[in-house]
Amino acid sequence: MFKGRTLITLVVTGGLLASLAACAPAGTSGGTGGDAGGTDCNVGIAMPTRSLERWINDGEGLKTKLEGDGCTVDLQYADNKTDQQISQIQNQVAGGAKILVVAAIDGETLGPVLEDAAGQGVTVIAYDRLINGTEAVDYYATFDNYKVGTLQGEFIEEQLGLADGAGPFNLEPFAGSPDDNNAGFFFQGAWDVLQPYVESGQLVIPSGKLSATNDDWKSIGILGWGSDDAQAEMDNRLQSFYTGGQKVQVVLSPNDSLALGIEQSLLSAGYTPGSDWPIITGQDADKANVQAILNDQQSMTVWKDTRELGDQVQAMVKSIVAGETPETNDDTTYDNGVKVVPAYLLDPQVVVKDDVESVLIDSGFLKASDVGL
Ligand code: BGC
Atom of ligand 1 nearest to the CA of 283: 10
Question: Is 164 found in the same domain as 40?
Answer: no
Query: Is there a single domain that holds both residue 159 and residue 289?
Result: yes
Please report whether residue 83 resides in a domain: yes
Cβ neighbours of residue 291 under 8 Å, at least 6 residues apart?
A: 371, 372
* Nearest residue (CA) to ligand 1, atom 5: 225
Q: Are 226 and 239 found together in one domain?
A: yes
What is the 255 CA–ligand 1 centroid distance (Å)? 7
Instruction: Report d(CA 323, CA 38) in Å as an integer.
Output: 4
Tell which residue, 22, 66, 19, has the closest CA to residue 44.
66
Instruction: Report if residue 362 sits inside a domain.
Output: no
Are 157 and 250 in a shared domain? Answer: yes
Beta bridge partners of 283: 302
The residue among 273, 272, 268, 276 whose CA lies nearest residue 353 is 273
What confidence score (pLDDT) does residue 23 get?
Answer: 37
Residue 287: inside a domain, yes or no? Answer: yes
Rounded Cα distance, 34 and 63, in Å: 22
Residue 297 inside a domain? The answer is yes
Say if residues 140 and 344 touch (Cβ distance below 8 Å).
Answer: yes
The Cα 49–Cα 344 span in angstroms is 23
For residue 186, the ligand 1 atom closest to its alpha carbon is 8
Pairwise CA distance, residues 210 & 40, whole Å: 49
Q: Which domain CATH number covers 238?
A: 3.40.50.2300
Ligand 1 mean position, distance from CA 47 (Å): 11
**Total number of domains constituting the chain:** 2
Q: Are residues 311 and 225 in the same domain?
A: no
Q: Residues lining ligand 1, judged by CB closer than 6 Å?
A: 52, 54, 128-129, 180, 182, 225, 255, 257, 283-284
Cβ pair 180, 225 in contact under 8 A: yes
211/273 same-domain check: yes
User: Does residue 151 sit in the same domain as residue 291?
Assistant: yes
Q: Are residues 73 and 174 in the same domain?
A: no
Q: Is residue 355 part of a domain?
A: no
230 and 159 together in one domain = yes
Q: What was the pLDDT predicted at 37?
A: 63
Per-residue model confidence (pLDDT) at position 211: 67
Helix pair 227-241, 256-268: axis angle to 10 deg: 40
Residue 30: predicted pLDDT? 39
**pLDDT value at residue 143:** 98
312 lies in a domain?
yes
Range of the domain at 277: 145-304+367-371
pLDDT for the residue numbered 212: 63
Asked, for residue 45, whether it belongs to a domain, the answer is yes
Are 180 and 92 members of one domain?
no
Query: Residue 12 domain-assigned?
Result: no
Regarding whether 184 and 89 lie in a shared domain, the answer is: no
Indicate whether 170 and 64 sit together in one domain. no
Which ligand 1 atom lies nearest to the CA of residue 143? 8
Q: Ligand 1, closest atom to CA 180? A: 7
Q: 10-residue block means of pLDDT along the chain (373 residues)?
A: 39 44 35 56 97 94 97 97 98 98 96 97 97 97 98 98 98 96 95 96 94 78 96 98 94 98 98 97 97 98 97 98 97 96 98 98 96 90
Beta strands 301-303 and 349-351, pairing class: antiparallel
- Residue 38's pLDDT is 76
Distance 202 CA to ligand 1 centre (A): 29
What is residue 210's predicted lDDT score, i.e. its pLDDT?
A: 82
